[in-house]
């Protein structure tokens, strides 16, 4: 009996203890959930306040969130430039370059609204979509907060996945591609963090110069890393730090069957002779290039009901190293140049928005940036007589090193004036000053009018005055006189330092919601330029060099549409554009005298001008499965004809398909699997044919490729 009573008391005590413990655990869980909800609400409020600093009012904004990025073929395993290529009016080029509305490059990259300084490599390759919670391309008549690089603003909002969870993945397939990756987000009290990293090994690093499915000597290894750390100081303030790095090594692909250089000798035309050797198989060339980018952004955000400010410090260090084929480059190009270039840039960005009253929102900001660029080159060349004949078969070495500093200062002030319900005027002034190889500055007025006469209808019209200095770190630094009388001599000796471009930009557009889920838009633009900036590849390293046309004109229109209805989402864009320039007035030594003479009195199409550009895509979500596809269309970039850039390459349309599925395996956690078919119909298309003003080797688009991916949640 006593034993039974003792057992009963023990059972009751255990039950009471379990009940109390369970209640405490439930209370703790409820408190954790409440803390999480509060943290999410604070972060959302701070993010919304940050977005109010740079709203892009009156400009054309195309946005893709993380879900849309994952749905396109390749998802976040592809490069950032492939994401931006889905936007209206964006044409693809080789080496990861993009052309927005007929501009050569002119893209400015921002992380959470903070400017990332330019570098020696294209940021479209240095930044991974894995870090992006949202990618926005902002074009058109930009408001005053955007300047210097005005073809388009690629503003990336970093992921805010702080759930103490992440994923590891493996992706690969065609062209020998292997791409492991990892990402993880964590939260502890007021601290939040997110990190991602990937490594890519691929046998198609740079566009193939031939039509073949496999490129020769085209391997690449690329490592990318990113980290975001933030401290929520109070419901009104936050400090954050972004650091990232990208290191890429490329083999320069070979074009078999090429003929070494021919010179004028004693007995007429003769092949170049280097220590008794005149032949070399172009398929055996061994050129390599390494590019590295390191960047950091530290920001402090403070917001009240009426005032929001953000102060940021930013920096970037980039390097480019080119290693030639010592004998082969000399025989084919007349020069074998080892090049090591570096650029260091840093600065501060302070911006604020103040809600003056119900009718006026005032914005202003200051940006200051300091740059230092260094270049070290060692070139093996052959000495020539004035007749063009060789003076010796033994190479001589020319060392040409340089260093230069630059300063850029910008300030703006603007007012968002609500005239009536549905009618807003955004006007302001911007000042930019640039000092480097020369000193220039400009005051630029900006004005945009946005009218919403009906629900679902939005019209905008704007004018922007632009000031765009030449990319400082890309300005050619070689001393051309050193190469006179050698096989590396330039076509001419005139070398005027590149100038800042000054332009007038007009934009008018309308967006209409036709029916639930369906939105269509039409946008038109017209731009006139003085000292219009273009870029070309004029040497062995794959790096662009800026030059100026005295006058330039660009105009076009874009038709866009999107439809979202339940599990189905689609988009389609078609753009028409023209871009022409007249009279090359800087960096003239890079061009043949005959071309300079013709262009001096004739407008020509820019080499990157593409008359028609299109993109389209669709995604269907059915349960845990996503089926998607996209299409990229181009009428062809320019090539030489009877006149420079007188013809265009053949048009092309490339279709990509994708399927992904999320699943949970017993005891093995949650997984996502995907399969991507890139260039599904194996379209052979040429991006460049090696001719045109400032165009290097020919390049073809990637042939058909099948890729598989597997990702596990951790």
pLDDT tens across 492-513, in order? 888 899 999 999 999 999 999 9
Q: What is the pLDDT of residues 442-476, one digit of tens each?
A: 999 999 999 999 989 999 999 999 999 998 877 76
User: Among candidates 714, 505, 700, 678, which has minimal Cα distance to 74?
Assistant: 678
Give 465 or 262, the one with higher predicted confidence: 465
Q: What's the token pair of residue 479?
A: 């001393």
Residue 627: pLDDT band (50, 70, 90) is very high
What's the mean pLDDT in 105-131?
82
pTM above 0.95, yes or no: no
Reply yes or no on whether the pLDDT at 36 is more than 60.
no
Instruction: Using a pLDDT cut of 70, give the percent of the chain over it.
Output: 92
Q: What is the pLDDT of residues 513-559, one digit of tens each?
A: 998 999 999 999 999 999 999 988 886 667 788 999 999 999 999 99
Strands 335-355, 638-639: pairing is unpaired
Q: Which helix (H) or strand (E) holds 404?
A: strand 396-420
Strand order of the β-sheet with 114-115 is 60-65, 132-139, 152-158, 107-111, 114-115
What pLDDT does residue 266 have? 60
Q: Which helix (H) or strand (E) holds 260?
A: none
Give 294 or 543, the one with higher predicted confidence: 294
Least reliable range by pLDDT among 382-386, 556-560, 666-670? 666-670
Which span out of 9-18, 259-268, 637-646 was modeled with the highest average pLDDT?
Answer: 637-646
What pLDDT does residue 17 have? 32
Q: What is the pLDDT of residues 608-621, one digit of tens each?
A: 999 999 999 999 99
Asked if residues 502 and 467 have their Cβ atoms less than 8 Å apart, the reply is yes
Give 96 or 113, the one with higher predicted confidence: 113
Residue 95: pLDDT band (50, 70, 90) is confident
What is the distance between the alpha carbons of residues 203 and 188, in angstroms, rounded to a whole number? 42
Asked if residues 464 and 141 have their Cβ atoms less than 8 Å apart, the reply is yes
What is the distance between the alpha carbons of residues 469 and 108, in angstroms, rounded to a whole number? 13
Reply yes or no on whether the pLDDT at 603 is more than 80.
yes
What pLDDT does residue 12 have? 34
Q: HEC string of 540-597?
A: CCCCCEEEEEEEEEEEEEEEEEEEEECCEEEEEEEEEEEEEEEEECCCHHHCCHHHHH
The SS3 of residue 256 is coil
What's the mean pLDDT in 323-351?
94
Least reliable range by pLDDT among 45-49, 158-162, 681-685? 45-49
Task: Check residue 208 and report its DSSP letter.
Answer: B
Domain segments of the chain: what residues?
Answer: 52-713
Please give the mean pLDDT across all residues of the chain.
90
Which residue blocks in 52-115 are alpha helix, DSSP H? 66-71, 80-84
What is the distance between the alpha carbons of residues 508 and 60, in angstroms, rounded to a whole number? 10
Reply yes or no on whether the pLDDT at 324 is more than 90.
yes
Reply yes or no on whether the pLDDT at 11 is more than 70.
no
Q: Supply the CATH classification number for the domain 52-713.
A: 2.40.170.20
How far does CA 361 lie from the centroid of its chain?
A: 31
Q: HEC string of 66-82?
A: HHHHHHCCCHHHCCHHH
What pLDDT does residue 162 have? 85
Least reliable range by pLDDT among 18-32, 177-191, 342-356? 18-32
With the CA atoms of 200, 204, 206 and 208 taken in that order, what torsion angle do they form, in degrees rounded to the nearest 10? -170
Q: Which helix (H) or strand (E) holds 245?
A: strand 237-251
Strands 439-451, 625-634: pairing is unpaired
Reply yes or no on whether the pLDDT at 645 is more than 90.
yes
What's the mean pLDDT in 159-186?
93
Q: Work out the burial of residue 48: count CB atoms within 10 Å of its CB; fewer than 13 is exposed, 13-18 middle, 19 or more buried.
A: exposed
Reply yes or no on whether the pLDDT at 122 is more than 80.
no
What pLDDT does residue 27 have? 55
What's the mean pLDDT in 413-437?
96
What pLDDT does residue 6 have? 37
What pLDDT does residue 46 have? 76
Reply yes or no on whether the pLDDT at 675 is more than 50.
yes
Task: Check residue 163 and report its DSSP letter.
Answer: S
């Amino acid at each position: 009996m006593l034993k039974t009573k003792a057992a009963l008391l023990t059972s009751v005590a255990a039950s009471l203890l379990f009940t109390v413990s369970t209640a405490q655990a439930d209370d703790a869980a409820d408190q954790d959930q409440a803390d999480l909800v509060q943290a999410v609400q604070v972060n959302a409020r701070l993010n919304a306040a940050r977005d109010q600093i740079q709203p892009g009012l009156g400009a054309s904004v195309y946005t893709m969130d993380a879900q849309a990025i994952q749905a396109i073929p390749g998802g976040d395993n592809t490069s950032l430039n492939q994401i931006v290529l889905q936007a209206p009016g964006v044409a693809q080029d080789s080496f990861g370059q993009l052309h927005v509305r007929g501009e050569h490059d002119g893209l400015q990259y921002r992380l959470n609204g903070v400017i990332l300084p330019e570098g020696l490599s294209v940021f479209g390759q240095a930044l991974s979509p894995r870090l992006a919670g949202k990618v926005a391309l902002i074009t058109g008549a930009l408001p005053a907060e955007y300047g210097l690089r005005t073809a388009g603003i690629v503003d990336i909002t970093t992921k805010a996945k702080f759930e103490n969870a992440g994923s590891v993945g493996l992706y690969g397939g065609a062209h020998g591609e292997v791409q492991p990756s990892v990402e993880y987000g964590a939260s502890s009290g007021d601290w939040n963090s997110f990190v991602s990293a990937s490594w890519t090994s691929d046998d198609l690093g740079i566009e193939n110069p031939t039509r073949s499915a496999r490129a020769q000597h085209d391997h690449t290894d690329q490592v990318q890393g990113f980290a975001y750390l933030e401290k929520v100081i109070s419901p009104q303030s936050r400090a954050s730090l972004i650091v990232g790095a990208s290191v890429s090594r490329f083999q320069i692909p070979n074009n078999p069957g090429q003929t070494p250089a021919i010179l004028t000798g004693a007995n007429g035309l003769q092949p170049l002779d280097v220590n008794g050797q005149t032949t070399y198989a172009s398929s055996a060339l061994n050129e390599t290039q390494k590019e590295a980018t390191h960047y950091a952004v530290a920001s402090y955000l403070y917001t009240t009901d009426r005032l929001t400010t953000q102060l940021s410090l930013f920096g970037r260090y980039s390097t480019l190293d080119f290693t030639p084929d010592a004998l082969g480059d000399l025989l084919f190009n007349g020069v074998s140049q080892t090049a090591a270039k570096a650029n260091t840039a840093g600065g501060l960005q302070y911006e604020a928005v103040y809600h003056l009253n119900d009718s006026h929102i005032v914005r202003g900001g200051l940006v200051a940036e300091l740059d230092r660029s260094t270049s070290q080159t060692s070139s093996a060349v052959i000495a020539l007589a004035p007749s063009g004949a060789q003076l010796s078969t033994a190479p001589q070495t020319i060392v040409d090193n340089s260093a230069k500093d630059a300063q850029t200062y910008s300030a703006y002030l603007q007012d968002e004036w609500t005239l009536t319900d549905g009618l807003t005027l955004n006007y302001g002034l911007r000042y930019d000053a640039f000092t480097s190889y020369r000193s220039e500055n400009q005051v630029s007025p900006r004005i945009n009018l946005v009218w919403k006469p009906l629900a679902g209808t939005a019209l905008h019209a704007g004018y922007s005055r632009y000031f765009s200095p030449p990319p400082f770190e890309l300005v050619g630094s070689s001393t051309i006189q050193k190469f006179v009388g050698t096989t590396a001599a330039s076509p001419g000796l005139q070398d005027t330092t590149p100038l800042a471009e000054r332009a007038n930009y007009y934009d008018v557009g309308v967006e209409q919601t036709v029916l639930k889920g369906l939105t269509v838009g039409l946008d038109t633009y017209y731009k006139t330029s003085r000292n219009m900036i273009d870029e070309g590849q004029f040497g062995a390293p794959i790096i662009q060099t800026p030059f100026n046309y005295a006058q330039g004109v660009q105009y076009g229109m874009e038709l866009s549409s999107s439809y979202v209805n339940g599990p189905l989402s689609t988009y389609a864009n078609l753009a028409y554009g023209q871009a022409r320039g007249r009279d090359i007035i800087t960096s003239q030594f890079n061009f043949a005298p005959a071309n300079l003479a013709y262009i001096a009195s004739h407008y020509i199409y820019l080499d990157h001008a593409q008359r028609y550009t299109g993109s389209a895509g669709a995604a269907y979500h059915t349960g845990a499965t996503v089926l998607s596809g996209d299409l990229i269309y181009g009428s062809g970039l320019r090539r030489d004809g009877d006149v420079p850039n007188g013809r265009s390459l053949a048009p092309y349309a490339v279709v990509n398909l994708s399927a992904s599925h999320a699943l949970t395996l017993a005891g093995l956690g949650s997984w996502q699997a995907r399969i991507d078919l890139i260039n599904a119909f194996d379209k052979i298309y040429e991006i460049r044919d090696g001719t045109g003003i400032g165009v290097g080797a020919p390049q073809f688009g990637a042939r058909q490729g099948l890729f598989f991916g597997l990702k596990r949640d951790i």
